Structure 1
Amino acid sequence: MDALDRMFERKNLSKLVGCPDGKAVGFQVGWIDEEGDSSHTQVCISSEHGVFAVTGSGDDASGPVWRSDGSKFAYLQGHDGLLQVFARDADGGNPRKLSDLPHGVVAVQQWCVKRRQLLVVAFQARPDTSKPIVSDYLPYKMDGTGYIAGEEISLYVLGEDDGSIQRVETPGADVKEARWAPTGDQLAIVVERCERQRHLTDLWIRSNDDAEFVQVTSQFPTVSSVAWAPDGKAVAFAGSSIEGDSRIRLQGWDLVGEKALLFSPLELASPSGLQWREDGQAVVAIEAHRSTQRIVACEREGGFSVVVDKPREITEFWMSPDAPMPALDRRGHSSGSAVETGFVGRHSGGSAGRLQPGR
């Protein structure tokens, strides 16, 4: 029972995302309410002024996603039984609701200051559970989610000023990810294939709003964590080479030369958090290394250097403009994960500057 009690006491941190100016970091805290037999999530911000909760402890929330100039951030919060997009100033003030989609929002992907728009993935349709559901593809149901057969998840552009919403016509089935290039014109998306097995995904890119999407990958069963190079001339992503293989490796595509980038064949410990170095010559990622993880910088044409190599269990990180910033623990201590000045996670030594958000 002690182990079970510790599980209920634990708070888990995830979705770590840093403010572009390097002065703050946002994250999501999740925990289990044993008495209420439910789970909850809370959005928090950590800055030089301390840690504050953006949403209440009883709310279900997700995020945050920073505006590209760092002045505001967006997050998801429940409203009338559906998750909708809300926004606040960087200091947590001036909260306002941005979206009012009839079936709710799945995730905020990006907030581009040049376009004054947000990319959001939202439900276009939800399954009708009042009658038998017929599915001709798998998976039709997900643990913790329920039936997904009959769902349609589409990509939308949300205006930050007036809340205007516009659906983006995309190939394939459900949209899993979407990212504008730093210039704000090119758009990369990850979509499920229209096949019997919907877990297979591909990367597509269009050059501008009026262009058609062009398929970039077909050789990888799964693609995720798309990251644009600072100059918008290349993309990096996590991809598996064999269907069903848990090993994920760093992949990339040069849009100018229309060729694959020859990253070192390192095994990624986590597909999340791929970040390009500011010079655009390397991608920083989390490598699986001797039963733990380390952060490495993978050069575009092969070779790599170790950025962080300490006995830790890391699942996420964020690199500020000046130096690496927090990473996340895979399991955490009995009291949960914690944010430190350099890292979040398990380590063998002391913990300087650790911040533990309250419930």
Structure 2
Amino acid sequence: MTTPFTPSDIFNHRTISSTNGSPSENLLACAVTSLNSATDGENSAIWAVPLDAGAPWQMTQGGSIDNTPQWSPDGERLAFISNRAGNYQLFVMPRHGGEAVQLSQGNFSLVSYEWSPDGSRIAAVCAVTVDPSLRGARPDPNAVPAPVDGPQVVWKLPYKMDGVGYILNREMRLFMIDAASGEATPLTDGPFDVKAARWSPDGKQLVYVRTREGDMSHRTDVWVMDTDGHHARQLTTDHAQVLYPLWSPDGRWIVFAGTIEEGDAKVRPWLIEVASGKVQALGDEDIELSFEADSMQFVGKDASKLLAVLASRGIQHVCEISIPDGQIKVLADGDRHLSKLCCTPDYVAYTSENSVLPMEIHACRHDGKDERAVSHFNDWWCDRAPATMERRQFVVPDGDGGTETIDGWLIRPVGAKGAAPLLMDAHGGPASYALFDYPVIAYWPVLWSQGWSILALNAVGSSSYGRAFADRLNQRWGEIDLPQYTAAVAQLQAEGIADDRVCIAGKSYGGYLSAWAVGNSTLFRAAVVMAPVANMETHYGTSDSGYYSDSYTMQGNRAETHALIRKVSPVHYVHQAITPTLILQGTNDERCPRSQAEELFVTIRRETDTPCEMVLYPGGTHKFTSTGKPSHRQDTMSRIVEWVTRWVDQHLVTEASTQQNKQAPIK
């Protein structure tokens, strides 16, 4: 006898947020995050997971956030970042456990770090408070520190970031920390942010990512410097975005993830030949990397091949990429998402999950053989109502008078027969794909426990299907992808899997598409719109990234595309809405700000009689469904389920709108 999933199951789930493999034995250290209902917060502890045999054990205890574990080069010490001392600092403990000792004591908050090859030093990226009224100038050494709650002077772009808020009162600097004494020496000091840093194999240089200065500071470049902070030089100039640089074991290459155009979300691998400074793409342009910091690794001393998490046809798999020719060999795949890549002397390890199986750590040999699960953090899932996940293909209109075939994931309860209520779930991006992260989609299991089916399409505009497929949606948001969604539903209805009881939900771009569907379709009996783009005209100037990301997707600046962005904005169509609509929004969302949701809500409430409610989550960011207060997350999942089940059996009221809703749509 199985138990139905409920929204409160988010408190049972444990997320593996980071992993690191020991260089000396087949042992992982990982950070495991769980929700605490008593404190309405999160706890994160470091666990050791053996890959050969034996059960995992917990290495840190208490109510703090302990994350980002990393073994020393000899495998005898384990470092991690923790907030147990207030702000985030670096702690070190012995390999076999014992009391963790605080290493760093700086007036900063540690973000990321890496041990030197000899284990004597640690390069760390840290957040340091600065006075924004100086507009990037260096302060007088005797100046009084600026108050934390002082005026927020805005003198450049970007000035805010989702999940952080106002950012001009801090800089991300690179420090060198002595691994014995904890003494921290600054290596950078300027009006820019260091995003990541890695050591050269000989321990003499650091490769790092830093932002540009002024209004171009949303762009990043690869730099190198000596480990004393001298002789800094820029290696890339043509990329809009670079991420996660990594030195090859022989020191010949620097590998990084990046994009050429600003606003492009499809990240691919690149190579820098250190001796010549030549920058070249690694592999063809349709190779797409996962966005995670640990998506690329070298195995031991082998510089001829790079391990990487690649995205292809909606899945994430572990591959070898040969250097420098870019040939690909798949090591681990399947209908799932693999992530958190790391290596030990004999194994490649990664997390594995899909929509019907929870996250666990898996491992295989370096050649991809003998894969098995090595953790059981989410065994509670075994007692819940099971479901099946099937990759389906749908013949849909291509937007240009023809047809094409797209993929979608159909999730149904085990043993399901006949037509059932269907939730159409639209993914974010749009240059992304359907995600399987349980904290984000925790309402799916609740619905399949009640007999629902879920369809998660990777329609035109989705990434992982090649650049041409993703870029075709530029300038045509809503216009060519919504008809693909409705065609997929029609196919399931023809097959007897679905009937007229169809609802739609989505967040971010999925929120956009759900809002677009409300104003341009009568297929859906209910809609849940989360953190949407509702008005492209105002999103451009209110989002932390709208001023360049919107220009990319609309293929021009605001002045050039004014008529287009008005045409594709859902707020100009929802006066026609007859679909009951629930809008969910974090109040501190800087990616798709609350004004987007509010404009949508007010327009529907003012210009129609259609049922519409909005719920605001105080302090919630763009990721409010997965990183907000646990009580808010549970409330979100409950409201989604309640809303669609309330309305799915009720036919739409076609005369629900007022006389104001008779106006013609924008052309």
Per-residue deviation, 1:271: 4.2
Q: 1:24 aligns with which of 27, 40, 45?
A: 27
Q: What letter corresponds to residue 199 of structure 2 in structure 1?
A: W
Q: What letter corresponds to residue 316 of structure 1 in structure 2?
A: K
Q: 2:66 aligns with which of 44, 55, 61?
A: 61
Taking the aligned partners of 2:311 and 2:31, their CA distance within structure 1 comes to 24
Q: What letter corresponds to residue 323 of structure 1 in structure 2?
A: Y
Taking the aligned partners of 2:280 and 2:306, their CA distance within structure 1 comes to 11
Partner of 2:194: 175
Q: TM-score, normalised by structure 1?
A: 0.87
Q: 2:126 aligns with which of 118, 122, 139?
A: 122
Partner of 1:204: 223
Partner of 2:270: 251
Q: 1:356 aligns with which of 361, 367, 377?
A: 377
Taking the aligned partners of 2:274 and 2:329, their CA distance within structure 1 comes to 25
Per-residue deviation, 1:23: 2.1
1:282-297 paired onto structure 2 within 5 Å:
282-297=305-320
2:314 paired with 1:311: no
Taking the aligned partners of 1:205 and 1:158, their CA distance within structure 2 comes to 18
Partner of 2:527: none
| Change beyond 3 A, Cα 1:208–1:113 | closer
Partner of 1:110: 114
Taking the aligned partners of 1:126 and 1:27, their CA distance within structure 2 comes to 33
2:297 paired with 1:275: yes
Shifted more, 153-162 versus 51-60: the winner is: 51-60
| Change beyond 3 A, Cα 1:314–1:88 | same
* Number of equivalences: 350
| Change beyond 3 A, Cα 1:137–1:41 | farther
Per-residue deviation, 1:330: 5.9
Larger of the two Rg values belongs to structure: 2
Is 1:43–1:54's contact at 8 Å kept on the other side of the alignment?
A: yes
Q: Which runs of 5+ in 2 are unaligned?
A: 132-146, 366-370, 381-667
Per-residue deviation, 1:155: 0.9
| Change beyond 3 A, Cα 1:290–1:34 | same
2:323 paired with 1:300: yes
Taking the aligned partners of 2:81 and 2:126, their CA distance within structure 1 comes to 11
Taking the aligned partners of 1:323 and 1:86, their CA distance within structure 2 comes to 27
Q: 2:164 aligns with which of 142, 145, 170?
A: 145
Identity of aligned residues (%): 24
Per-residue deviation, 1:24: 1.0
Taking the aligned partners of 2:57 and 2:164, their CA distance within structure 1 comes to 29
More helix by share: 2
Taking the aligned partners of 2:157 and 2:86, their CA distance within structure 1 comes to 27
Is 2:46–2:60's contact at 8 Å kept on the other side of the alignment?
A: yes
Q: What letter corresponds to residue 117 of structure 1 in structure 2?
A: R
Q: What letter corresponds to residue 310 of structure 2 in structure 1?
A: E
Shifted more, 92-101 versus 165-174: the winner is: 165-174
2:367 paired with 1:338: no
Q: Which runs of 5+ in 1 are unaligned?
A: 344-349
Q: TM-score, normalised by structure 2?
A: 0.49
| Change beyond 3 A, Cα 1:210–1:4 | closer
Q: Deviations over 1:108-149 (max 9, x none)?
A: x11125260111112221674423211223443344434322
* SS at 1:338 equivalent: strand
Per-residue deviation, 1:292: 0.7
| Change beyond 3 A, Cα 1:119–1:305 | same
Per-residue deviation, 1:170: 5.7
Taking the aligned partners of 1:40 and 1:137, their CA distance within structure 2 comes to 36
Q: 1:38 aligns with which of 33, 38, 41?
A: 41
Is 1:87–1:98's contact at 8 Å kept on the other side of the alignment?
A: yes
Partner of 1:347: none
Is 1:84–1:97's contact at 8 Å kept on the other side of the alignment?
A: yes
Is 1:248–1:271's contact at 8 Å kept on the other side of the alignment?
A: no
Per-residue deviation, 1:262: 4.5
Is 1:251–1:263's contact at 8 Å kept on the other side of the alignment?
A: yes
Q: What letter corresponds to residue 91 of structure 2 in structure 1?
A: F
CA RMSD of aligned residues (A): 2.8
| Change beyond 3 A, Cα 1:90–1:338 | same
| Change beyond 3 A, Cα 1:91–1:244 | same
Per-residue deviation, 1:56: 2.1
Q: What letter corresponds to residue 96 of structure 2 in structure 1?
A: D
1:179-198 paired onto structure 2 within 5 Å:
179-198=198-217
Partner of 2:576: none
Per-residue deviation, 1:290: 1.6
Taking the aligned partners of 1:172 and 1:322, their CA distance within structure 2 comes to 43
More strand by share: 1
Taking the aligned partners of 1:60 and 1:126, their CA distance within structure 2 comes to 25
Higher relative contact order (CA 8 A, sep 6+): 1
| Change beyond 3 A, Cα 1:210–1:102 | closer
